[in-house]
Amino acid sequence: MAEPNWKNQTMWTGDNLPIMRGMNSESVDLIYLDPPFNSKANYAAPIGSKAAGAAFKDTWTLSDVDAEWVNLMEAKHPALHRVLLAAMTPSDKSYLAYMAVRLLEMRRLLKPTGSIYLHCDPTMGAYLKLLLDSVFGRKAFRNEIVWSYQRWTGATRHFQRMHDTVWFYAMERAGFNMLKEAYSAKSKHKGARRTVFVGGQIEQSYTGDTSRQKAMRDVWEISYLNSQAKERTGYPTQKPLALLRRIVEASSNPGDMLLDPFAGCATACIAAEQLDRQWVGIDISEKAAELVKRRMDAELGLFYKGAHRTDIPKRTDLGKLAPYNSASNKRNLYGQQEGQCAGCDTHFEARNLEVDHIIARVKGGTDHLENLQLLCGSCNRIKGDRGMEYLQVKLQLKGF
C-alpha cells in the first residue's frame, strides 16, 4: 500500500480524471462519490445563496465521449465495454463511458481494505450497478442503501420519487463497523420479551424498554435538507451531513483517508473531519473549494490548515515501474494479444511489434501495462500521439 502524495485536508479544483490519474495507487480507505446523475438538467445555485456561482452540467451527448476511453475499455476491460454497449441512448453511453473510466481509477486508488459508496438516483442507478459489478467484482457488492426522504413535488403521473440509492462495495479485506438504530415505535420488539399468562393462555408481552437497539437496516430515513436547515450552503444537490456521517462511521476508522472525487460543497469531507478522518476532495467547480474553506473555517476556526490545489499531481509510487518498452512489458503484452497487432490484428513475430501508449503520455497516459499495447511498425507510425479511433478509421480506409 502506498502513502498518499497529497496532504490531509486537500481540496482540488479541476476535472477529477487527470487528478486521480496522478494520485498514488492503494492510498485511500474510503471513497464516496455523488456524481452528476445524467438528469438532463443544468444545476445552478440561487443568486444570493452562499453557493451562488456554482453550476454544473448534467446533460450528455456523444461528443462528450473521448473515443480513447472507449477504446481503452474495449482493449483492456471487455466486460466493462459490454455494459457501455448495453446503453439505450447515445447520451447514456456517453455518461457511462465518462463514469467507467473514472471508476477504474477509483479502484486503483482504493486499498485492499477499502470501501466505496456510489450515490445515485433511479435515472442511471441500474446501469451504474453494472459498471460497479464489472470494475469491483460482484463479490464486492455489500448493500443497496435506500435514502428515503420527504420533499415538496408537483403533480406526477407516477408514484412520488422519494429516494436515492447508494451502492456500497467493499474490497476483500475491508472492515465494517456495524451501526445501530432504535426499534421503531410500533415495533413489537420494543424492549425485552416477557411471557405472561392471560386467562390461562400463554402470551408474549414486552417491557417497553426503548433503549435497546438493533443492527441498522439498508433503508435510511434521513430528512432532506429543507430551505431552513442550518447546514444548508445553497449548493445545488448538497447532501445531509447525517447521511455522510453514517457512511464514514461504518466504513472507516479515525485516521483513515477519505476521497470524494465529486465533492460539491464537500459534505463528505466535513463528515470525515468531524469524525477525525483524513480527507481529500475534488470538484471541477471553483465555487466548491471556496465553500469548503468557508464550511471548514466555521467548523474548525483557526485550526483549518487545508490546502487548495489546481495542479495535476505526480505519482510518487512509480519507482519500481519498468520502462514502458521493457522486455518484460513486451512479453506480457505479446501473451495478452496472442501475438497480434492491436491495430490491424495481423500476427507478427515479437521483434516486429512495438510498445505503444493507448492514451499518449502528452494526454496524461502512464507507463503502466494497463495503458500499453503492441502495434506493428506501420500502425504505430499512423497512430502517433493520437487515439485508437484515428488509427481504426485510417485502417478502414486502407481496407483492413
Ligand X SMILES: C[S@@+](CC[C@H](N)C(=O)[O-])C[C@H]1O[C@@H](n2cnc3c(N)ncnc32)[C@H](O)[C@@H]1O
Binding residues vs Zn ion (CB under 5 A): 341, 343-344, 376, 379
Beta carbons of 109 and 259 less than 8 angstroms apart:
yes
Residue pair 32/243 in contact (Cβ under 8 Å)? The answer is: no
145 vs 376, beta carbon nearer Zn ion: 376
Residue 282 main-chain phi, psi, to 5 deg: -130, 135
* Contact flag: residue 94 with ligand X (CB under 6 A): no
Residue 66, by phi and psi: left (phi above 0), alpha (psi -120 to 50) or beta?
A: beta
Per-residue DSSP letter, 322: P
- When asked if residue 65 is in the footprint of ligand X (CB under 6 A), the reply is no
Residue 353 CB, shortest distance to ligand X, in Å, is 35
239 binds ligand X (CB under 6 A): yes
Least gap, CB of 265 to ligand X (angstroms): 4
Instruction: Concatenate the DSSP letters of all residues of 352-398 into one string.
Output: GEEEEESS-GGGT--SSGGGEEEEEHHHHHHHTTS-HHHHHHHHHHT
Q: Which of 97, 284, 353, 382 binds ligand X (CB under 6 A)?
A: 284
And the C-alpha cell for 288?
466548491
Q: Which does 343 bind (CB under 5 to 8 A by kind): Zn ion, ligand X, none?
A: Zn ion
Rounded to an integer, what distance in angstroms lies between the CA atom of residue 1 and that of residue 4?
Answer: 9
Among 285, 329, 373, 380, binds ligand X (CB under 6 A): 285
Q: Which of residues 11-40 bind ligand X (CB under 6 A)?
A: 15-16, 34-36
264 binds, among ligand X, Zn ion, none (CB under 5 to 8 A by kind): ligand X
- Indicate which single residue of 237, 337, 373, 380 sits in contact with ligand X (rule: CB under 6 A): 237
Q: How far is the CB of 72 from Zn ion (least distance, A)?
A: 18
Maximum distance among all Cα pairs of the chain, rounded to whole angstroms: 94
Which partner in ligand X, Zn ion, none is near 220 (CB below 5 to 8 A by kind)?
none
Task: For residue 136, count CB atoms less than 10 angstroms from its CB and return exposed for 0-12, middle for 13-18, buried for 19 or more.
Answer: buried
Binding site for ligand X (CB under 6 A): 15-16, 34-36, 56, 235, 237-239, 262, 264-265, 267, 282-285, 288
